[in-house]
A and B are shown apart, each in its own frame.
Chain A
Amino acid sequence: DAGVIQSPRHEVTEMGQEVTLRCKPISGHNSLFWYRQTMMRGLELLIYFNNNVPIDDSGMPEDRFSAKMPNASFSTLKIQPSEPRDSAVYFCASGSGGAGETQYFGPGTRLLVL
């Protein structure tokens, strides 16, 4: 299995621009998670989906952030407009759901907003 695939791996953009991060979960997994990692805050869960439906988006920092999962094999996290404080590594993870489930992480997208 290819594992969780994320693109792009690195993104450099200017403040105010729209940024779209992409994720392809492991086939057969029905849960998908978006995390953000920074030195100051560590790992934060932004949002998670179950069977393509957003279950909990309480971690999304503000309205500039949005996430979609149009089908079982694709999800996007969008930041519009981007700000320098959004600079972080964004991870996507997928899992098979249920108690004791293991989440499998992608390699991450390193975002730098200038």
Chain B
Amino acid sequence: GDSVTQMEGPVTLSEEAFLTINCTYTATGYPSLFWYVQYPGEGLQLLLKATKADDKGSNKGFEATYRKETTSFHLEKGSVQVSDSAVYFCALLDSSYKLIFGSGTRLLVRP
């Protein structure tokens, strides 16, 4: 079945550092891809999405490009802030319109 694999965390960075969180997927066809973020004690919030190959999703300085050739959707940000500390989930929407999530990557940004 469809699946999503994310890099293990936690990822610890200093403020203003460059962020990459790797995400690869296995799926039949070309599913829509998502990044969700979860702050402590809260539900998941959509961060960005891409619905077809070569699309780039972006929001709040975060970007991810849908790479069909490498089946990847890596999350990047040029300069992280302390307020970006959270858990980030990569997900795909399968052919039954169900979201399949990765295991999540915890990001900790130090001042």
Contact = CB atoms under 8 A, between A and B. Distances in A.
Interface band, chain B: 10 to 19
Nearest to B45: A105
A1 B34 CA distance: 22
Interface band, chain A: 20 to 34
Interface in B40-56: 42-46, 49, 51
Interface stretch (B9-17, B19-27, B72-80, B93-101): B93-101
22 contacts: A4-B43, A33-B98, A43-B89, A43-B101, A43-B104, A45-B99, A48-B97, A48-B98, A55-B96, A56-B98, A93-B44, A99-B51, A99-B93, A100-B32, A100-B51, A101-B32, A102-B46, A103-B99, A105-B36, A105-B45, A108-B42, A108-B43
A82 interface: no
A99 B32 contact: yes
Give the one of B49, B96, B98 with max A CB within 10 A.
Answer: B98
